[in-house]
Amino acid sequence: MASLLRQIIAGPRARHADSNLDLCYVTPFIIATSGPSGTYPQLAYRNPLDKLVAFLDKSHGEDWCIWEFRAEGTGYPDKEVRDKVRHYPFPDHHPPPFAMLPLVMASMRNWLTEGGKKTGTSTNSAAEEASKKGEEATEEAQKNDTKAAEKLDKKQGNGRVVVVHCKAGKGRSGTMACSYLISECGWSKEEALVRFTERRMRSGFGQGVSIPSQLRYVDYVTRWTAGGKKYVERPVEIIEVHTWGLREGVKVGVEIFGEEGKKIETAHIFGTKERLVVEGGSPGGAGFKDWVTDMAHPAPAAPSKSRTIALDGTYGNENEPTSTASEPASNNSSPSVDKPAALAPKIGLAAKSAKVSASAAIQRAATGKEPDSEAEEGGQAVIFRPSKPLILPSCDINIDFERRHRARYGMTMVTSVAHVWFNPFFEGNGPEQGGKPNENGVFEIEWDKMDGIKGSLRKGTRALDRVAVVWRFADQGAREVAEPGVDSEVPEM
């Protein structure tokens, strides 16, 4: 019965034929598996820990070590795997803090090349310790990579393996496995992602790494590797968040990693006074008809050409000489602008005296009462501007959207949830500019390309059509995060 339950839970993931465990060999030296457990009730549907250890001992002797990425908890004590485990936890359905990646890559590389020693202790400043050598370590990165590659060529057949797992052994594990193949083995992003999908997933059951933000970070790893593995962590200020086609009842927040990546913390939630409606007339309303329309039809084209927001907050036609943000340099990010502060709009009296939104009229007609003055108002173009400087301590930034619908009798329900992670070091072309990114820029993304609920693309009813985040780096607090060299001790998180 337990075996049947494990097969049902594993579902789309391929099982290892010989062991009947939920694991796969991504390469001869990388094993991906779901999180094992030695206690009930998890033991009924997860890989039995004792069977996993027995399989690894039989197949690889002492030449195996586990890398686990579960911020929710490993699921077993270290002693149950003879302390052959290294911890780099980050939350489920999210990418890792980028400063964690050089540590994971180096620790896996050193184990496979028989050059590393486990520190055995955790540190509250692991990323800082890893970057103490600063410029020296960065200059030696290429030499270390060459040395490691030579060792890997000789050692891949020696049976020494790394075992990666998170909860399902898919998103977080796949992100790290693909990142290793790209940064240490010279694979392309496409080759790594395809290989992981082919080995980890059953045919026809989707991608191994499928969450948009995780895929974005795998692309960051490709660029980090091509740019000589230079990464600089800096505080970032969020100037404004521009939205187009914003529906009523949408709450917008900014989140960051806390506790070295183990948790996600809310840095700011935009209030009513920080919400400036440049153009009213929110698409859709609170009715069932609008809900069906949002779900059944794609969003209208964003007004990026025929109508654009100028730097002074006014609207113009494409034939008029207005000053606008430049087109994106990549899929999501625009090149830096000279004066990002100039993007703060000077809303005229016409915008300030806009008519009552459609949803407010619907609410008044349905209930006979005035709408709540604190309700999140939508519009064709809405700008969120922090009332105080919003400076974030690191480059990993998550913009979160939640739409709530208030029913006639006062009950509320969440109708859509979406978020997107991005990193200004990469959106500012840091790897392509010798580790010196643009000082400011704009990150843009459409609703359909954001992350959905629990790692899926399902987000519920449409909350907006497009968003652009205006950012700039703070003046101080920069620190280089270098990948530890071959034979170096690598701290855990």
Residue 490 in any domain: the answer is no
- CATH assignment at residue 26: 3.90.190.10
Residue 408 in any domain: the answer is yes
Query: Are residues 406 and 354 part of one domain?
Result: yes
Query: Are residues 433 and 318 part of one domain?
Result: yes
Residue 488 in any domain: the answer is no
What is the spatial distance between Cα 165 and Cα 172, in angstroms, rounded to a whole number?
8
Query: Are residues 245 and 182 part of one domain?
Result: no
CB atoms within 10 A of CB 344: 16
The residue from 204, 229, 254 where one domain ends is: 229
What's the whole-number mean pLDDT along residues 259-283?
A: 96
Q: What pLDDT does residue 312 have?
A: 39
Contact indicator for 161, 29 with CB cutoff of 8 Å: yes
Among the listed residues 166, 215, 182, 207, the one whose alpha carbon sits nearest the alpha carbon of residue 420: 215
Q: What pLDDT does residue 39 have?
A: 75
Q: How confident is the model at residue 473 (pLDDT cuts 50, 70, 90)?
A: very high
The residue from 229, 252, 267 where one domain ends is: 229
Please count the residues of the chain: 493
Comparing 431 with 291, the larger pLDDT belongs to 431
Query: Are residues 427 and 372 part of one domain?
Result: yes
The residue from 229, 245, 279 where one domain ends is: 229
What's the whole-number mean pLDDT along residues 26-37?
A: 96
What's the whole-number mean pLDDT along residues 17-22?
A: 74
Contact indicator for 265, 393 with CB cutoff of 8 Å: no
Class of residue 355 by CB neighbours under 10 A (exposed 0-12, middle 13-18, buried 19+): exposed
Q: How confident is the model at residue 406 (pLDDT cuts 50, 70, 90)?
A: confident
Q: What pLDDT does residue 476 have?
A: 86
Query: Are residues 225 and 245 part of one domain?
Result: no
Q: How confident is the model at residue 386 (pLDDT cuts 50, 70, 90)?
A: very high
- Residue 466 pairs in a beta bridge with 244, 446
Q: What pLDDT does residue 369 have?
A: 43
Query: Are residues 436 and 348 part of one domain?
Result: yes
Q: What pLDDT does residue 132 have?
A: 44
- The β-bridge relationship of strands 479-480 and 232-233 is antiparallel
Query: Are residues 256 and 163 part of one domain?
Result: no
Q: How confident is the model at residue 1 (pLDDT cuts 50, 70, 90)?
A: very low
Query: Are residues 183 and 282 part of one domain?
Result: no
Q: What pLDDT does residue 12 have?
A: 58
Contact indicator for 283, 461 with CB cutoff of 8 Å: no
Query: Are residues 399 and 304 part of one domain?
Result: yes
Residue 285 in any domain: the answer is yes
Q: How many structural domains is the chain composed of?
A: 2
- The β-bridge relationship of strands 64-70 and 85-90 is parallel
What's the whole-number mean pLDDT along residues 417-435?
A: 98
Contact indicator for 419, 400 with CB cutoff of 8 Å: yes
Comparing 327 with 17, the larger pLDDT belongs to 17
Residue 485 in any domain: the answer is no
- Residue 252 pairs in a beta bridge with 401
Per-residue tokens: 137: 């370590």
What's the whole-number mean pLDDT along residues 293-314?
A: 46
Give yes or no for residue 136 having a pLDDT over 50.
no
Contact indicator for 170, 200 with CB cutoff of 8 Å: yes
pLDDT digits (tens, 9 = 90+) for 85-124: 999 999 999 999 999 999 999 999 999 998 544 433 343 3
What is the spatial distance between Cα 332 and Cα 223, in angstroms, rounded to a whole number?
15
What is the spatial distance between Cα 161 and Cα 66, in angstroms, rounded to a whole number?
9
Q: How confident is the model at residue 488 (pLDDT cuts 50, 70, 90)?
A: confident
- CATH assignment at residue 379: 2.60.40.1110
Among the listed residues 88, 10, 13, 6, the one whose alpha carbon sits nearest the alpha carbon of residue 48: 6
What's the whole-number mean pLDDT along residues 458-472?
A: 97
Comparing 6 with 293, the larger pLDDT belongs to 293
User: Of the spans 114-118, 147-151, 272-276, which averages the highest pLDDT?
Assistant: 272-276
What is the spatial distance between Cα 333 and Cα 178, in angstroms, rounded to a whole number?
23
- Residue 492 pairs in a beta bridge with 122
Query: Are residues 198 and 168 part of one domain?
Result: yes
- Percent of the chain at pLDDT above 70? 67
Q: How confident is the model at residue 412 (pLDDT cuts 50, 70, 90)?
A: confident
What's the whole-number mean pLDDT along residues 325-351?
A: 41
- Residue 120 pairs in a beta bridge with none
Class of residue 125 by CB neighbours under 10 A (exposed 0-12, middle 13-18, buried 19+): exposed
Residue 319 in any domain: the answer is yes
Q: Which domain holds residue 55?
A: 2-229
Q: How confident is the model at residue 7 (pLDDT cuts 50, 70, 90)?
A: very low
Contact indicator for 116, 490 with CB cutoff of 8 Å: yes
Comparing 376 with 61, the larger pLDDT belongs to 61
Q: What pLDDT does residue 41 have?
A: 64
Mean pLDDT of the chain: 79
Query: Are residues 213 and 290 part of one domain?
Result: no
Contact indicator for 93, 451 with CB cutoff of 8 Å: yes
- Percent of the chain at pLDDT above 90? 60
Residue 493 in any domain: the answer is no
What is the spatial distance between Cα 239 and Cα 452, in angstroms, rounded to a whole number?
25
Residue type, 281: G
Q: What pLDDT does residue 203 have?
A: 83
Contact indicator for 370, 378 with CB cutoff of 8 Å: no
Residue 346 in any domain: the answer is yes
Query: Are residues 295 and 193 part of one domain?
Result: no
